[in-house]
Amino acid sequence: MESPNQPDKRRSLRRINWFVIVFASLSVLVLLLPVQHWMPLSRHQKLGLAVFVFGLGYINQLAFSARYMSKWLRACHLATGLFCISVFFVFWTNPWLDYAMSAQNDEQDHLRGLLFLGYLLISLTIAGMWAKGLWEDLKTKAKEPPKGG
């Protein structure tokens, strides 16, 4: 027989970002493993792989607990996951971003600066989304009546 508090326990467990925590730990493990002993990788490609694993945590968390999230938090999880995955694709397909991997030319230096600026602006936008999402979540929680008897 289920108690009336059982759904609340499930909801609170789904609100915790378990997938983000687990995949963040896995991304640290990717950084610590000497993957370049088994395949040729630049530092940026290895970092991109770790960021990809981290981004998968946000995507999986969104898939697992989207119905318990506000619209803003769903958008934040999606944007963060897609941002991390795009960082992976850029780093993976452009090993020349690492100065030690290839000879550099002016075009690559210019593109590197544009990529840096673009990702800086996107990351600031995502940070603003998180601030707005968390602020809306706090306002919603403040309006809810306290639970209990």
What pLDDT does 1 receive?
45
Residue 98 counted as domain residue:
yes
Tokens 């998180």 appear where? 130
Residue 58 counted as domain residue:
yes
Residue 1 counted as domain residue:
no
What pLDDT does 100 receive?
66
d(CA 13, CA 65) in angstroms, rounded, equals 10
Give residue 8's Cα distance to chain centre: 27
Q: What percent of the chain has pLDDT over 90?
A: 42
- The overall average pLDDT reported for the chain is 84
Which segments within 17-90 are labelled E, that is strand?
none
DSSP label of 147: P
What pLDDT does 37 receive?
83
Lowest mean pLDDT: which of 5-9, 57-61, 72-76? 5-9
112-116, long-range: CB < 8 A, 24+ apart: 115/90
**Per-residue pLDDT for 108 more than 60?**
yes
Residue 149 counted as domain residue:
no
Which of the pair, 62 or 146, is modelled with greater confidence?
62
Query: Given pLDDT bands bounded at 50, 70 and 90, which one contains residue 138?
Result: confident
Range of the domain at 30: 6-143
Which of the pair, 35 or 57, is modelled with greater confidence?
57
Residue 60 counted as domain residue:
yes
Residue 148 counted as domain residue:
no
Number of folded domains in the chain? 1
Average pLDDT over residues 102-126: 88
Residue 62 counted as domain residue:
yes
DSSP label of 34: -
